[in-house]
A and B are shown apart, each in its own frame.
Chain A
C-alpha cells in the first residue's frame, strides 16, 4: 500500500497516510467512527524533496496497513511550525475539502494578473490567520508579509485572495450584496482607510479567523511563498466549478451552522 505525505494547513500538521488524497481529505472532514464534519485544506508533499524534516524509517515502520488490511489513515509526524520547515519545492497539489468530505484538487500554475484592482482582501491561513485588507497584489502581499526587514514578518505564508466585488475599487459606494463577510461596514472602513493613507499597505480586518473558508468567496486562488518565491494554485471560475466539479461545488456552497 502506497504511503503518502501530507501537509495539513488547517490545522497545521505533517501527516503520513496510506490513503490517497481524495480519501484522506474525506477522512479528515467526516471521519469514520462517528459523524463529524469540518473543512480540510492540505497539500500533498513529495517525500523525496522534504529533506530531513521527516524520518523515513519511522514512517516505513509505522505507516503501515492495520492487521485487518485496512489502510493506516493518519500518522501524525509534526503539529508545530510545519509550514516554516517544508520546502516550497516539495509542495505538489493543493486539496480543498468541503464539510461533507468532497475533495477538489488544485494544481500549481503561473500567476497572471487578470485585472489590477485598487484593493485586495486576503485570508491568511498559515501560520497565522488574520484577514487582511491590502493595496498590494497577491504576490507582492506574500513577499511583503514574509519580508524579514519588516518589524513583523513570517518565514512563509499561505493565504487565499477573497472576493471584494465592487468594494475593490469603491469601498464607500460599491455594492456588497453578494459578499457574505460579517460586519461589512468595518470592512468598508478598513478599505477606505487604506485608500486614504498611501503610507499604509495593509490593514487587519479580522484578527483571528475561527470559521470555515467560504469557498465561493475565493478569488483567483491560493498563494504560498517565502518572500523570494510565490507559488500559485488557481481556483476555478464559478462556471467551471458548476460544469466540471458540480458535486464539489454544490457541497462547497452549503454552509452549516
Chain B
C-alpha cells in the first residue's frame, strides 16, 4: 500500500481529536442560571428520547436489510460477501456522528446563551465550535470508515492487481448504502418531527392563543427546539455524511476503472479523493480557528467572520490540492485539479444563487412580500413561481460543472468517458472537501436558534437577547445557503455514484460468470471470460444493456424515477400535515385541561409534545422510506439494468430540480414574512403580514422536510441500485 495513504486515517483521527477538544472546551463552559439549565435539560432529554426511538426503528430496518444482504451474498452468491458488514458500518458510523452532533448541539445552546451574557464573540465562539464538533465528527468518522475498510480490503485483496482494486473500491462503495439508509431516516424522520412541532406550536401558540415564539407557556415550544436539532443538526449531518463518503468512494471506484491498465496510476487515482478530503480536514480545522468577531459587531461583521474561515479553507484547498496532485504525478493532474476547482466553484455558485433567491435583501423575496398586499393566494402563487425560476442557476451551474469537470479531466477528449466521469467525481469531492467547516456553519444555525430560545425563555436581559438575536439571524442565512450546498453536493454525488454503477455491474457479472461460466447480455451478446468483461467500456455496456432513449424500458424507468420524487414529496408533506394536526390537538388539550398554563402558573407537559412528534415522525417516515428502498429493487428485478439507469436518471433530474424548487420556495416564503416584519408592506400585524404567515407555514415542510429529503432519495435510490446490481444482472423479467 502506498505510504501516503496513511495521511487519510491520520487526518480522520486529527478531525476526531479536534472534535473532542472543541467538545471539552464547550462542555467546560457554564450553562448559566437554573432556569437556563432546566430549559436546556428539557431540550436535551427530548432530543435524546427522539434519537433513541429513531435508532430503535432504524435498527430493525438494518437487521432486516442485513439479513437480506447476507442471504443474497452467502445463500445465492448474488451479492458481494462484504456488503452486509459494509452496510452495517456505514449505518453505524453515520448514527454515531448524528448522536455526537446532537449531544453537542443540545449541550451548547444554554452555554451559548450564557456566553452571550459576557460578549458577542464568546457566544459566537461557543455556538460555532459546537457546530464544528458536528462538522469534524462527520468528516472524521467518514474518513475513518473509509480508511478501515481500505486497510481491511487491501489485506484480503492485495494491491498491485488492478482487478483487485476494482473489487476493493466497488466493495467500499456499498458501505455508502448504510450511510444512505441512516441518512434517509434521519432526514425524513427529523424533517417530519421538526415541522410537526414547529407548525403545531405556531398554529395554536401564535395564531390561536397569541403566544409569542419560544414562550415557555406553549407546550410545543420544547419540541420545536428539539426539532431544530433533529432536523438541522442530525438530519443535515447524516445527509452530508452520506454525500461526503459517497463522493469519495464513487470517485475512487471511477478512478480504479479509469486506470484499469496501470496499477500504479490506479492506486494514485483511488487515493487522490481520499487525500484531498484529508487535506480538507486540516484546512477546515485552521478555518475554524479563524472564526471570531469583535463586540458590537454588525450582522455584516458576523457574516464576514464566518466567511473568513470558510473562504480561507476553500482558497487553501485549491492551492494545496494543486500541490498534492502534482506530487502524486497522477495522469493529467492539472486537468483533474481543474475539475476539483470547478466543483468548489459550483458549490459557491449554488450557495450564492440560493442566497439571492431566498434572502430578504434581494428582489425575488421582496417581490413575494409585495404580492402579499393582495392576499395569501398571490403569496403562494408568487412563491411557487419564484421557487421554480430559482432552479435555473443551480441546474445550469451543475450542468456547466459537469461538462467542465468532464472535459478538464478527459483533456478535452469527450470520448474518454472513464476519465471524464472521474473528473465529475473529483468535482463532487472538491465541493465537499472542506465539509468540516461548511457543516460547522450549518450546524451553528440551530445551536444559535436554540440559544436565542433559551435566552427568551429564561428572561435574560435586553443586551443578551440582542446578541443571541444577532447570532440567530446569522444562523438563518447559513442554514439557507447550507441547504443549497447540500442539494448541489447530493446531485453531483449521485451523478458520480451513477457513473460508478457500471463498475458494480462488472463485478456482479464477474461473480455470476464464476458460477455459470458465461454471461448473456440483453442484446444477445455472450461473454465467457473475465478479460472480455474487463475490456468492455462504458459505451459497450450501454449498448449491451440497451440503455438508449428509444428503449421503452429506459423511458419507463425515467418516468418512475420522476414519479418517485413527487410521490416521496407528497408522502412527506402529508406526513407533516397529519403530525402537525396531532400536535395541534395536544396543545389545545393542554391549554384546556391544565389549569394556569396561560397565566404562567402551571408548567405544560413538554414531554408529551416531544413524544407525539417522535411517534408521528417514526410512524410517518416508514412508508416513504420503504418505498425509497423497495422501488429501485423492484425496478431492477422487472426492468433490469436499462430500467434501473432510467430510474436513476429520472430520479436525479426530477429530484434535484424539485429539491431546489421546494427549498428555495420555502426559504423565500419564510424570509418574505421576515421582510414584512422588519417594517415593509405594513409590517407586523398588517394584512400583508398575515398573508405571508400563511405562505411561511406552507413553506415549512417544503424547505425543511420534503426538499431536503429529496437529497437522500436521489442518493439512496442510486445506492440501492448499486448494491443490488448483482441481483439485477442475474434476475430481471424484461
Instruction: List residues of A whose CB falls within 8 A of some B CB.
Output: 23, 26, 30, 32, 34-35, 37, 98-101, 176-182, 184, 214, 216-217, 242-243, 246-247, 250-251, 253-257
Given A180-B685, A255-B685, A256-B208, output 19 extra A-B contacts at Cβ < 8 Å: A26-B599, A35-B588, A35-B592, A35-B598, A37-B208, A37-B209, A100-B212, A180-B683, A180-B684, A180-B687, A182-B686, A246-B465, A250-B212, A250-B215, A251-B210, A254-B206, A254-B211, A256-B206, A256-B207
- CB pair B598 A101 closer than 8 Å: yes
Contact A32 B684, CB 8 Å, known A256-B206, A257-B690 = no
- CB pair A179 B682 closer than 8 Å: yes
- CB pair A177 B679 closer than 8 Å: yes
Contact A182 B685, CB 8 Å, known A254-B206, A256-B209 = no
Alpha-carbon distance between A255 and B683 when the two chains are bound, in angstroms: 11
Contact of A177 among B462, B682, B690 (CB under 8 A): B682
Alpha-carbon distance between A213 and B284 when the two chains are bound, in angstroms: 52
Query: Which residues on A sit within 8 Å (CB–CB) of B690?
Result: 255, 257
Alpha-carbon distance between A257 and B456 when the two chains are bound, in angstroms: 24
Closest 3 A/B residue pairs (Cβ): A99-B210, A180-B686, A178-B679
Contact of B683 among A178, A182, A256 (CB under 8 A): A178
Contact A98 B680, CB 8 Å, known A26-B598, A35-B588 = no
List 6 A–B pairs whose Cβ atoms lie within 8 Å, in order of A's numbering: A35-B592, A100-B209, A177-B682, A214-B684, A214-B685, A254-B212
Query: Which residues on B sit within 8 Å (CB–CB) of A253?
Result: 212, 684-685
Contact A251 B212, CB 8 Å, known A26-B599, A30-B598, A246-B465 = yes
Alpha-carbon distance between A77 and B209 when the two chains are bound, in angstroms: 29
- Total of A-B residue pairs, C-beta within 8 Å: 92
Contact A254 B210, CB 8 Å, known A26-B598, A30-B599, A100-B598 = yes
Query: Which residues on B sit within 8 Å (CB–CB) of A256?
Result: 206-210
Query: Which residues on B sit within 8 Å (CB–CB) of A30?
Result: 209, 598-599
Q: Mark B190-210, 1 if CB is under 8 A from A, else 0.
A: 000000000000000011111
B539 an interface residue at 8 Å Cβ cutoff?
no
B674 an interface residue at 8 Å Cβ cutoff?
no
B268 an interface residue at 8 Å Cβ cutoff?
no
CB distance from A143 to the nearest CB of B (A): 30
Alpha-carbon distance between A99 and B215 when the two chains are bound, in angstroms: 14
CB distance from B44 to the nearest CB of A (A): 25
Query: Which residues on A sit within 8 Å (CB–CB) of B465?
Result: 246
CB distance from B378 to the nearest CB of A (A): 16
Alpha-carbon distance between A32 and B207 when the two chains are bound, in angstroms: 19
Alpha-carbon distance between A99 and B685 when the two chains are bound, in angstroms: 13
Contact of B207 among A178, A180, A257 (CB under 8 A): A257
Contact of A255 among B215, B592, B681, B689 (CB under 8 A): B689
Q: Mark B497-534, 1 if CB is under 8 A from A, else 0.
A: 00000000000000000000000000000000000000
CB distance from A29 to the nearest CB of B (A): 8
- CB pair A182 B208 closer than 8 Å: no
Alpha-carbon distance between A101 and B682 when the two chains are bound, in angstroms: 25
Residues of B contacting A: mostly: loop
Contact of B211 among A34, A100, A180, A243 (CB under 8 A): A100
- CB pair A100 B680 closer than 8 Å: no
Query: Which residues on A sit within 8 Å (CB–CB) of B212?
Result: 100, 250-251, 253-254
- CB pair B680 A35 closer than 8 Å: no
Chain B, 674-700, CB within 8 A of any chain A CB: 679-687, 689-690
CB distance from B365 to the nearest CB of A (A): 15
CB distance from A244 to the nearest CB of B (A): 9
B296 an interface residue at 8 Å Cβ cutoff?
no
Residue from the set A34, A180, A182 with the largest chain B CB neighbour count within 10 Å: A180
Contact of A100 among B217, B681, B684 (CB under 8 A): B217
Query: Which residues on A sit within 8 Å (CB–CB) of B210?
Result: 37, 98-100, 251, 254-256
- CB pair A101 B684 closer than 8 Å: no
Query: Which residues on A sit within 8 Å (CB–CB) of B459?
Result: 246-247
Nearest chain B residue, comparing its CB with the CB of A183: B687
- CB pair B680 A178 closer than 8 Å: yes
CB distance from B96 to the nearest CB of A (A): 39
Alpha-carbon distance between A254 and B213 when the two chains are bound, in angstroms: 9
Contact A251 B211, CB 8 Å, known A30-B598, A243-B462 = yes
CB distance from B565 to the nearest CB of A (A): 33
- CB pair A32 B462 closer than 8 Å: no
B591 an interface residue at 8 Å Cβ cutoff?
yes
CB distance from B515 to the nearest CB of A (A): 67
Query: Which residues on B sit within 8 Å (CB–CB) of A242?
Result: 462
Alpha-carbon distance between A247 and B684 when the two chains are bound, in angstroms: 17
B33 an interface residue at 8 Å Cβ cutoff?
no
Query: Which residues on A sit within 8 Å (CB–CB) of B623?
Result: none
Alpha-carbon distance between A99 and B459 when the two chains are bound, in angstroms: 20
Alpha-carbon distance between A26 and B206 when the two chains are bound, in angstroms: 17
Contact of A184 among B211, B595, B682, B684 (CB under 8 A): B682
Contact A216 B208, CB 8 Å, known A101-B598, A257-B690 = no
Alpha-carbon distance between A247 and B683 when the two chains are bound, in angstroms: 20
Alpha-carbon distance between A99 and B208 when the two chains are bound, in angstroms: 9
CB distance from A33 to the nearest CB of B (A): 9
Alpha-carbon distance between A89 and B325 when the two chains are bound, in angstroms: 88
Alpha-carbon distance between A217 and B685 when the two chains are bound, in angstroms: 10
CB distance from A16 to the nearest CB of B (A): 21
Query: Which residues on B sit within 8 Å (CB–CB) of A257?
Result: 207, 690
Nearest chain A residue, comparing its CB with the CB of B465: A246
Nearest chain B residue, comparing its CB with the CB of A26: B599
- CB pair B687 A182 closer than 8 Å: yes
Alpha-carbon distance between A237 and B684 when the two chains are bound, in angstroms: 17
Query: Which residues on B sit within 8 Å (CB–CB) of A250?
Result: 212, 215, 456
Query: Which residues on A sit within 8 Å (CB–CB) of B207?
Result: 256-257
- CB pair A216 B211 closer than 8 Å: no
Query: Which residues on A sit within 8 Å (CB–CB) of B209?
Result: 30, 35, 37, 99-100, 256
Query: Which residues on A sit within 8 Å (CB–CB) of B588?
Result: 35
- CB pair B595 A32 closer than 8 Å: yes
- CB pair B680 A255 closer than 8 Å: no
Query: Which residues on A sit within 8 Å (CB–CB) of B687?
Result: 180, 182
Query: Which residues on B sit within 8 Å (CB–CB) of A178?
Result: 679-680, 682-683
Alpha-carbon distance between A214 and B687 when the two chains are bound, in angstroms: 12
Nearest chain A residue, comparing its CB with the CB of B694: A257
Nearest chain A residue, comparing its CB with the CB of B595: A32
- CB pair A181 B682 closer than 8 Å: yes
Alpha-carbon distance between A246 and B465 when the two chains are bound, in angstroms: 10
Alpha-carbon distance between A156 and B465 when the two chains are bound, in angstroms: 42
Query: Which residues on A sit within 8 Å (CB–CB) of B686?
Result: 179-182
- CB pair A180 B682 closer than 8 Å: yes
Query: Which residues on A sit within 8 Å (CB–CB) of B682?
Result: 176-181, 184
